[in-house]
Amino acid sequence: MSRKMLVIGEARDGALRNVTFEAIAAATKVSDGGEIVGVLCGSENLEEMGQEMVYYGADRVVTVQNNKLTTYTSDGFGQAVMAVIEEEKPEGIIMGHTAIGKDLTPKLASKLETGLISDAVDIEETGENMVFTRPIYSGKAFEKKIITDGLMFATIRPNNIKALNRDDSRSGSVSAKEVDIADLRTIIQDIIRKTSDGVDLSEANIIVAGGRGVKSAEGFKPLEELADVLGAALGASRGACDAEYCDYSLQIGQTGKVVTPDLYIACGISGAIQHLAGMSNSKVIVAINKDPEANIFNVADYGIVGDLFDVVPKLTEQIKEIKVNS
């Protein structure tokens, strides 16, 4: 049965996040040939970003531009998206399971009086039903959910559902909708970012992460060099953050970010269960640790027993040589 699907796009620093394109791919799978309608909220560049959503599989895009949507608030974006939902009347809604997605979608689901499947990592068709797979118990197990009635509403974990190939020949309308944003309970005056420079950690294909074994803030420098050579994001365990070796914006784990990169390189990380909860679903895990009994080796695909301050620089040099000779 074909379904009209609404995809809520998300931008950061004036550009669409990759999870938006992944959400379009997920919606395409769920729609069974139905129309894919994107929705974008903000105050600038919406038409350009809307066209990009079309290139990645959306049939058309509705934008809501308003100066009160310059920065995200659940009140403002909730009013804008609800106005589009009421007009479009979709059979399903998909959004990324990001910080904004985790805040916005439960509130929308409550207003719509419908259920919500959060943090889906896979979607497959079984007979007449769409089956959503999501991790539970900090990634130790998975559950499968089927929506049997009502709106099909879900968020997807970044970097798990592959985006469709970009096709610049695709055409679709990008139309603007006027929405009166009123009665905002929260107004953002200023934003102070403490995120790291470079690749977005939650969407990175490669992550180099350090733990207490880096010994100091200075100890992260070899990891930064390796990450730079690989085009990777830099991450950390909670132990490294607690010891003030790095900022908490880099924290990966049960109380930090949950990541699923293609390659995860753990340097000086023992492998506490809280950290494993945030990275154990990475496709390939490489562990570097002096302790051969470290728990991280139990989940690693490849392990190197050695001092990270010897191993990481050598690994960086080898990769540089390969790049030069290739």
- Is the distance from CB of 31 to CB of 5 less than 8 angstroms? yes
The architecture in CATH of the region 5-176 reads: 3-Layer(aba) Sandwich (3.40)
Which pLDDT band, with edges at 50, 70 and 90, does 120 fall under?
A: very high
Question: What's the burial of 282, exposed, middle or buried (CB within 10 Å: 0-12/13-18/19+)?
Answer: buried
**pLDDT over 90 (residue 56):** yes
Strand duo 5-8 + 92-96: pairing: parallel
Distance of alpha carbon 10 from alpha carbon 101, whole angstroms: 9
Q: Is residue 51 part of an annotated ligand binding site? A: no
- Is the distance from CB of 80 to CB of 66 less than 8 angstroms? yes
Q: Is residue 212 part of an annotated ligand binding site? A: yes
Which pLDDT band, with edges at 50, 70 and 90, does 194 fall under?
A: low
pLDDT at 189: 77
pLDDT at 185: 83
Distance of alpha carbon 56 from alpha carbon 51, whole angstroms: 9
Instruction: Indicate the class that CATH gives domain 201-325.
Output: alpha beta
Phi then psi dihedrals of residue 274, to 5 deg: -65, -35
CA distance to 264, 283, 288, per residue, from 208 (Å): 6, 14, 11
Distance of alpha carbon 302 from alpha carbon 283, whole angstroms: 12
pLDDT at 311: 97
**pLDDT over 90 (residue 122):** yes
**pTM for the full model?**
0.87
Residue 14 or 318, more confident = 318
Q: Is residue 237 part of an annotated ligand binding site? A: yes
Q: Is residue 97 part of an annotated ligand binding site? A: no
pLDDT at 127: 76
**pLDDT over 80 (residue 1):** no
Distance of alpha carbon 312 from alpha carbon 252, whole angstroms: 20
Distance of alpha carbon 282 from alpha carbon 208, whole angstroms: 12
Weakest-pLDDT range from 33-42, 125-134, 160-169, 205-214: 125-134
Distance of alpha carbon 259 from alpha carbon 261, whole angstroms: 6
Q: Is residue 188 part of an annotated ligand binding site? A: no
**pLDDT over 70 (residue 197):** no
Per residue in 91-112, pLDDT (tens digit) is: 999 999 999 999 999 999 999 9
Boundaries of every domain in the chain: 5-176, 201-325
Q: Is residue 12 part of an annotated ligand binding site? A: no
Q: Is residue 269 part of an annotated ligand binding site? A: yes
* Residue found under tokens 């085009």: 231
Per residue in 221-249, pLDDT (tens digit) is: 999 999 999 999 999 999 999 999 999 99
Which pLDDT band, with edges at 50, 70 and 90, does 13 fall under?
A: confident
Q: Is residue 271 part of an annotated ligand binding site? A: yes
